[in-house]
């Protein structure tokens, strides 16, 4: 008869998730609205350094609005209003005296459709550093950024050619290079691979894995499997319809990705990730 | 057990309705082709008429000599007119193009709604402003009580050109996708850096095209110049403070003259003017295609 | 949504329960053959194991296909993993029944000792009950039922103790020594079947709680033979 054993907790995380996690964003009771339309409400979460944090959820649940609050891109939309606090290393992003340009220098963004400028590859990457006054060693900066985006080898012989001649996947990596050329701390990616074919998507996902060594990444994706593959932590947003029938996006569950996809705490999360409801 | 196959007859030839549809198609095509042919035909007819009547006098000396002395047998030339028109339109362009582009930039990139609507309206109205009205206005403001001068003429022309440049520029600016602006803003660029660094360079081709078209138009405007720089000398005049000879007004003057040689001179000048305008329009079109090829791929 | 996926899951579970019924039949056949020294029945049992193996492979292939095509997550994933393990445990149990049948054949001509046989049959009935409880707890997603398997396992232990006492008595007689040895193997085999039933219970608990625990016997924390 086998000796009885103590219970073994096999769900203890094996990988060395950094026990001391540094908070980059501390989001408190965030509410964002365009005019009278509330897009997102009651969001409380902390985003940690050098991790990939994914935001998933059905369409219309405010994922894009949320991520655009983090670098104040929503300021460009007339009628936008933000309540609650977003603390970036303790500083209120929307506080008095905070310059949105400074914010965007430190918190970069890559968009769904690659949007390279109609300039040469070199100029695309060098443009922002030039106008921000980082003119020293521009060539090295450009090369470093292109290497960081895993694009250098493919374009090093044609830096002066038009960026528009690149393939979709290459253009997106160029946009990433462009963003990291000014050495931000955070990279926000709004559905970065949804306009790309599977191979280009895989290269972007691989890149994200490398990028998180130096940057903090927040990615919005409607592809759950992608979130499962790349993210360390995942936040699930869903539409919350109140008594008046109006819906706003809200944070339902936020946890380590492994936990969220094997044993989610909230039934709504379970229903969403298992595909039982769209 | 063998399967029994039903008899299938598929007739892809079509019935009466199809035939009628085809007929209507052909008819519509024919009408469209005829209309296009008519328009092209008209243009060809005009060009041919002018060329036919004006070709006789065209020669190197005609293009390089001074204007003829009245009632003298020598044919003379239209060099002062060509140079004069170039000066007038050149100065007008120097005024209208920068201001027009700036207004367009302001309207598309910076203006809030409460400013944009009235300014846009003003620009649209300017397009429809009869050039003779502009002429009378400039005359009463700058020429009445003073002498005729080329600067006033250029000013009048620039008023004609301005809304054209602005509109064309606006169209091109709108063509720049907002994703470009977003991309630039997300990199920490200010609004005006975005405009100067990304949007303007992308629109240059279109702006050039619009400007060239406005210039082509200005070359042919007669009314604004009629009262303002309509009385001028026989030789090349380079000082814009004086009245400057120009082609459209001289064509008008010669066409009123009783002397048949003057009529010939008018046709010849008209041919030169028309050729100039056609060449510029062609250049504008080529510039536009070049831009399209470079910005969309 | 995902109706065909759900149907596939249900189909796999039904096959698993069918495999469970087959295992029960195989075990019952082996126990009967043992009791009546029925060699023909023993042969049938051994042949019947093939049916179980066929079903085992089918279910295994079905799970593989589902994992590749449907990327199940959360509860679905745990269900599929639980089914994968339960499939394996059931197949092993059938193999053990075959072992018992083979033993029966080997010593069919030897006179059996009734008390020893009796305690073996008791153990066999306990094992059968455990299999039923395990399968039911899975079908009903009943955590308590799954955990009760620990106590049932204890009952097998008790029967086993009586068995061991009798073995000690009999081992002195040289004529029956070989037979007794074979029967010891049968008892070990029946115990193992019980262990696999407990394992199935642990899988059910994992499915329901997302935690994998080896069931401890709370009432007897100390080690025992």
Residue A117 placed within a domain: no
Give the pLDDT confidence of C4-52 residue by residue, as tens digits.
Answer: 899 999 999 999 999 999 999 999 999 999 999 999 999 999 999 999 9
DSSP string, chain C: --HHHHHHHHHHHHHHHHHHHHHHHHHHHHHHHHHHT-HHHHHHHHHHHHHHHHHHHHHHHHHHHHHHHH---HHHHHHHHHHHHHHHHHHHHHHHHHHHHHHHHHTTTSPP-HHHHHHHHHHHHHHHHHHHHHHHHHHHT-HHHHHHHHHHHHHHHHHHHHHHHHHHHHTT-GGGHHHHHHHHHHHHHHHHHHHHHHHHHHHHHHHHHS---PPP-TT--S---
Q: Which residues of A touch B290 (CB under 8 A)?
A: none
Whether residue B84 sits in one domain with residue B45 = no
Confidence of residue B164 (pLDDT cuts 50, 70, 90): very high
Domain shared by B40 and B134, yes or no:
no
- Whether residue A12 lies inside any domain: the answer is no
Q: In chain A, which residue's Cα lies nearest the Cα of C191?
A: A1
Pair B249, B80: CB distance under 8 Å: no
Question: Residues C175-179: contacts with CB within 8 Å, 24+ apart?
Answer: C176/C110, C176/C111, C176/C113, C178/C107, C178/C110, C179/C107, C179/C110, C179/C112, C179/C113
Calpha distance C2→A272 (Å, rounded) = 11
Are B205 and B254 in a shared domain?
A: yes
- Cα separation, A28 vs A90, whole angstroms: 12
Instruction: Output the DSSP codes for A157-223.
Output: T-TTSBGGGS-HHHHHHHHHHHHHTT--SEEEEESTTTTS-HHHHHHHHHHHHHHTTTSEEEEE-S-
**Tens-digit pLDDT profile for residues A38-62:** 999 989 999 999 999 999 999 889 9
Chain A contact present for C8, CB below 8 A: no
Q: How far apart are the first and last CA of chain A?
A: 50
CB of C119 within 8 A of CB of C186?
no
Separation in Å, CA of A223 to nearest CA in chain B:
22
| Residue recorded with tokens 């019935």 | B15
Residue B147 pLDDT: 82
Domain range annotation of chain C: 3-209
Max CA pair span of chain A: 76
C131-158 residue pLDDT tens? 999 999 999 999 999 999 999 998 898 8
Residues B24, B67 within the same domain: no
Contact residues, chain A, for C193 at CB < 8 Å: none
| Cα B66 to Cα B236: distance, rounded to the nearest angstrom | 7
Which of B57, B88, B108 is at the close of a domain?
A: B57
Interval B39-76: pLDDT, tens = 999 999 999 998 988 888 888 888 888 888 877 777 78
CATH of the domain at B108: 1.10.3720.10
Distance separating alpha carbons of residues A192 and C127, to the nearest angstrom: 57
Q: What is the mean pLDDT of residues A138-145?
A: 95
- Chain C residues close to A269, C-beta within 8 Å: 74
Cα B82 → chain centroid: 18
CB C20 within 8 A of CB C83: no
Segment C190-199, tens digit of pLDDT: 999 999 999 9
Note whether B187 contacts A117, CB cutoff 8 Å. no
Query: What gap in Å lies between CA B252 and CA B38, rounded to an integer?
Result: 28
Residues written for chain B: 297
Q: What digits encode the pLDDT tens for the residues C66-101?
A: 999 888 999 999 999 999 999 999 999 999 999 999
Query: What is chain C's length?
Result: 225
Right CATH number for C3-209 from 1.10.760.10, 1.10.10.1100, 1.20.1440.230, 1.20.58.220? 1.20.58.220
Q: Is C219 on the interface with A (CB under 8 A)?
A: no
Please indicate if any CB of chain A lies within 8 Å of the CB of B189. Answer: yes
Cβ–Cβ below 8 Å for C73 and A228 = yes
The mean of the pLDDT values for chain A is 90
C224/A228 Cβ within 8 A: no
Would you give the end-to-end CA distance of chain B in angstroms? 60
- Please list the residues that pair with A28 across neighbouring strands: A85
pLDDT recorded at residue A11: 58
Are B71 and B206 within one domain?
yes
Is pLDDT at C225 greater than 60 in this prediction?
Answer: no
- Tell whether C154 lies on the interface with A, counting CB pairs under 8 A: no
Tens of pLDDT along A209-245?
Answer: 999 999 999 999 999 999 999 999 999 999 988 777 7
Answer yes or no: do B171 and B291 share one domain: yes
Query: Which chains form contacts with chain B, at 3 or more CB pairs under 8 Å?
Result: A
pLDDT at residue A18 greater than cutoff 70: no
Q: Same structural domain for residues B32 and B134?
A: no
Whether residue B172 sits in one domain with residue B137: yes
In a domain, B219, yes or no: yes
| Residue B23 and residue B98 in one domain | no
Probe site for chain C from A263, A265, A271, A278 (most C CB atoms < 10 A): A263
Measured distance between the N- and C-terminal CA atoms of chain C, rounded to whole angstroms: 52
Q: How far from C31 is each of A49, C97, C106, C153, CA to CA, in Å?
A: 63, 8, 15, 18
3-class SS of residue B50: helix
Say which residue the tokens 């769209």 belong to.
A278
pLDDT band at C223 (very low <50, low <70, confident <90, very high): very low
Q: Which residues of A touch B201 (CB under 8 A)?
A: 118-119
pLDDT value of position A4: 55
Q: Are A228 and A269 in contact (CB under 8 A)?
A: no
The tokens for A153 are 């080898």
Of B41, B57, B73, the residue that ends a domain is: B57
For residue A278, which of A57, A52, A9, A75 has the smallest C-alpha distance?
Answer: A57
Residue A143: how many other CB atoms lie within 10 Å? 17
CATH number where A227 lies: 3.40.50.300
* Residue A101 belongs to a domain: yes
A71 touches chain B (CB under 8 A): yes
| Helices B113-128, B150-175: crossing angle, 10 deg rounding | 130
Pairing mode of beta strands A80-88, A23-34: antiparallel
Q: Which domain covers residue A265, as residue numbers?
A: 23-112+186-273
Q: How many domains does chain B have?
A: 2
Q: Which domain holds residue B266?
A: 60-295
Q: Are B172 and B203 in contact (CB under 8 A)?
A: yes
Our count of domains for chain A comes to 1
Whether B22 and B146 share a structural domain: no
């Amino acid at each position: 008869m086998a000796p009885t054993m103590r219970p073994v907790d096999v769900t203890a995380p094996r990988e060395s998730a950094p026990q001391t996690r540094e908070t980059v964003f501390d989001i408190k009771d965030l509410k964002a609205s365009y005019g009278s339309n509330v897009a997102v409400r009651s969001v409380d979460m902390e985003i940690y350094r050098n991790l990939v944090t994914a935001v998933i959820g059905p369409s219309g649940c405010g994922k894009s609005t949320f991520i655009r609050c983090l670098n104040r891109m929503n300021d460009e939309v007339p009628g936008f209003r933000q309540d609650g606090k977003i603390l970036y290393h303790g500083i209120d992003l929307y506080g008095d005296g905070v310059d949105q340009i400074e914010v965007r220098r430190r918190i970069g963004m890559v968009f769904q459709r690659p949007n390279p400028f109609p300039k040469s590859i070199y100029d695309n990457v060098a443009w922002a550093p030039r106008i921000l006054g980082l003119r020293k060693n521009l060539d090295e900066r450009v090369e470093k950024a292109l290497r960081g985006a895993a694009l250098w080898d493919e374009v090093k012989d044609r830096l002066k050619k038009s960026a528009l001649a690149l393939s979709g996947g290459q253009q997106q990596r160029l946009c990433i290079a462009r963003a990291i050329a000014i050495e931000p701390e955070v990279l926000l990616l709004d559905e970065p691979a949804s306009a790309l074919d599977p191979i280009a998507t895989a290269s972007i996902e691989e890149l994200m894995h490398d990028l998180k060594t130096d940057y903090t990444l927040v990615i919005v994706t409607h592809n759950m499997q992608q979130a499962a593959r790349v993210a360390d932590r995942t936040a699930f947003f869903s539409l919350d319809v109140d008594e008046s029938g109006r819906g706003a996006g809200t944070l339902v569950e936020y946890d380590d990705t492994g936990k969220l996809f094997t044993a989610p705490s909230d039934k709504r999360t379970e229903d969403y990730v298992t595909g039982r409801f769209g | 057990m063998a399967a029994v196959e039903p008899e299938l007859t598929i007739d892809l030839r079509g019935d009466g309705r199809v035939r009628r549809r085809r007929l209507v198609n052909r008819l519509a095509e024919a009408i469209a082709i005829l209309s296009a042919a008519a328009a092209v035909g008209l243009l060809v007819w005009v060009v041919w008429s002018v060329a036919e009547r004006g070709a006789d006098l065209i020669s190197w000396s005609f293009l390089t000599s001074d204007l003829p002395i009245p009632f003298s047998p020598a044919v003379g030339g239209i060099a002062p007119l060509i140079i004069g028109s170039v000066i007038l339109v050149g100065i007008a362009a120097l005024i209208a193009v920068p201001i027009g582009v700036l207004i367009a930039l302001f309207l598309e990139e910076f203006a809030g709604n409460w400013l944009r609507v009235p300014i846009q309206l003003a620009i649209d109205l300017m397009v429809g402003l009869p050039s003779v009205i502009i002429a009378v206005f400039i005359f009463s403001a700058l020429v009445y009580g003073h002498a005729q001068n080329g600067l006033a003429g250029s000013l009048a022309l620039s008023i004609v050109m301005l809304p054209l440049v602005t509109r064309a520029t606006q169209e091109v600016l709108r063509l720049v996708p907002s994703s470009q602006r977003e991309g630039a803003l997300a990199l920490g660029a200010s609004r005006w850096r975005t405009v100067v660094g990304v949007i303007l360079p992308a629109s240059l081709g279109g702006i050039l095209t619009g400007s060239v078209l406005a210039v082509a138009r200005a070359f042919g405007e007669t009314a604004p110049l009629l009262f303002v720089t309509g009385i001028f000398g026989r030789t090349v005049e380079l000082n814009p403070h004086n009245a400057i000879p120009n082609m459209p007004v001289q064509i008008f003057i010669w066409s009123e003259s009783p002397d048949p040689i003057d009529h010939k001179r008018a046709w010849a000048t008209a041919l030169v003017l028309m050729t100039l305008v056609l060449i510029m329009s062609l250049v504008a079109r080529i510039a536009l295609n070049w831009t399209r090829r470079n910005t969309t791929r | 949504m995902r109706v065909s996926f759900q149907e596939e899951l249900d189909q796999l579970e039904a096959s698993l329960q069918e495999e469970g019924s087959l295992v029960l039949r195989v075990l019952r056949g082996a126990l009967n053959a043992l009791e009546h020294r029925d060699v023909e029945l023993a042969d049938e049992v051994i042949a019947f194991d093939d049916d179980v193996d066929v079903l085992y492979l089918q279910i295994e292939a079905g799970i593989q296909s589902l994992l590749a095509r449907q990327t199940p997550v959360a509860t679905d994933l745990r269900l599929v993993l639980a089914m994968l393990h339960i499939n394996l445990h059931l197949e092993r149990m059938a193999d053990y029944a075959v072992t018992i049948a083979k033993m029966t054949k080997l010593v069919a001509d030897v006179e059996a000792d009734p008390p020893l046989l009796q305690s073996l049959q008791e153990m066999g009935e306990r094992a059968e009950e455990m299999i039923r409880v395990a399968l039911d707890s899975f079908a009903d997603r009943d955590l308590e039922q799954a955990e009760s398997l620990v106590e049932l396992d204890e009952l097998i232990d008790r029967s086993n103790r009586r068995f061991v006492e009798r073995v000690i008595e009999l081992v002195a007689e040289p004529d029956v020594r070989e037979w007794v040895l074979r029967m010891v193997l049968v008892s070990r085999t029946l115990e193992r079947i019980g262990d696999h039933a407990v394992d199935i219970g642990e899988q059910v608990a994992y499915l329901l709680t997302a935690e994998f625990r080896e069931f401890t016997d709370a009432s007897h924390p100390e080690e025992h033979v």
